[in-house]
Amino acid sequence: MDQTPTPYHLGYILGPRINAGGRIGDSGLGATLLSTAHNGEAEKIAALLDRLNKERKAIEQQTLEEAMTRAELMVEETPDIPLVLVGSEEWHTGIVGLVACRVTERFHRPSCVLSWTKDAATGARSGTGSLRSVAGVDIGGAVRAAVDMGLLLKGGGHAMAAGLTVAEDKLAELEAYFAEALTETASEARASAGLKIDGALVPSAAKEDLLALIDRAGPFGQGNPQPRFVFPAARVKFAKIVGETHVRCVLEGGDGSRLEGIAFRAAGEPIGRALLENGGMPVHVAGHLRLDTWGGRKKIELMIEDVADPRKQAG
């Protein structure tokens, strides 16, 4: 690595590899890697964690596709459903939290993704899962209340994330409880959902001195979100799918200046389709900027979070 580590590197490069051991391998690998004083041991563990992370990605992608298909059917049948709950015996328990995050992002409502298992002695089935929520919906409180009501074998969490274990014969009661407890707040959250924008830019304004100024306000995280900018009426000059699930593109402003952008996990999603099927029409594109130094060359790119059609907004 040829640059100072940033929260991005820790959260999206190192973090997933450290966590991969606990998700589908040995949970002690990450701790050993961070604590060992022996370079040889560190290199072996790092290589193993990198391999496990690739396996985790493959497992996650397959699970995500199945979960999204089921979730889409649920939302189509019941558009005002407050919580999307899906599960399967085929899904790995170490992946359900990651999938729940994606489901919640896609449908703008809380989700619960379960991995079902059967007790070898009794044959009874139980589901262990993760829940993710949206601002304004306290999912942890709902889970704790469900425990108190005897609907769960165990559970806990905080406002935005929780975990639970439910017996199969309690699942219908649990779903009914969530429907009653979360409908009002989940509906309000969807109605007020939107991206907070810190400013509007043209591509020519995305320069290193701007990024240096932004970095001075960091580090960024849950309590201090990274500034988000919109590039109004930009034209998509080029777009393609990379890495199977991501969409890379080139945006052009009204002054002719250009900026590269990438939308992660957008292939097949509304954002990806808006970029790939744009047809040269202007679109509003929102996201945050980062300096990419991959391959030894510096490049500023936009991490795309949303795309909007100005014509639909005007109508």
Domain containing residue 115: 7-191
Kind and range of the H or E element at 163?
A: strand 161-167
> What is the DSSP annotation of 224-247?
BPPP-EEEEEEEEEEEEEETTTEE
Burial of 39 (0-12, 13-18, 19+ CB in 10 A): exposed
Does residue 35 sit in the same domain as residue 89?
Answer: yes
Does residue 222 sit in the same domain as residue 91?
Answer: no
Does residue 172 sit in the same domain as residue 249?
Answer: no
Domains in the chain, number = 2
Find the CATH number of the domain harbouring 25: 3.10.310.30
Residue 1 lies in a domain: no
Longest dimension (CA), the chain: 70
Find the CATH number of the domain harbouring 255: 2.40.50.460
111-142 per-position pLDDT tens digit? 999 999 998 888 899 999 999 999 999 999 99
Q: What percent of the chain has pLDDT over 70?
A: 97
Helix (H, G, I), strand (E, B) or coil at 125: strand
Kind and range of the H or E element at 167?
A: strand 161-167
* Dihedral sign computed on CA atoms, order 109, 241, 295, 210: negative
Does residue 230 sit in the same domain as residue 176?
Answer: no
- Give the per-residue pLDDT at 85: 97
Does residue 213 sit in the same domain as residue 279?
Answer: yes
Does residue 170 sit in the same domain as residue 206?
Answer: no
Kind and range of the H or E element at 171?
A: helix 171-191
Residue 2 lies in a domain: no
CA distances from 135 to 101, 109, 160, 170, 186 (A): 13, 9, 7, 27, 9
Helix (H, G, I), strand (E, B) or coil at 200: strand
pLDDT band with cut points at 50, 70 and 90 for residue 29? very high
Does residue 214 sit in the same domain as residue 169?
Answer: no
- Give the per-residue pLDDT at 247: 96
Does residue 32 sit in the same domain as residue 153?
Answer: yes
Distance between CA 89 and CA 146 in Å, rounded? 23
Does residue 152 sit in the same domain as residue 182?
Answer: yes
- Give the per-residue pLDDT at 1: 55
Q: Which of 191, 213, 236 is the last residue of a domain?
A: 191
pLDDT band with cut points at 50, 70 and 90 for residue 315? very low
Q: Is pTM, for the whole model, over 0.85?
A: no
Does residue 164 sit in the same domain as residue 283?
Answer: no
Q: First-to-last CA distance in the chain?
A: 48
Q: Which of 191, 226, 243 is the last residue of a domain?
A: 191
Radius of gyration, alpha carbons of the chain: 22
Does residue 243 sit in the same domain as residue 307?
Answer: yes
Does residue 122 sit in the same domain as residue 184?
Answer: yes
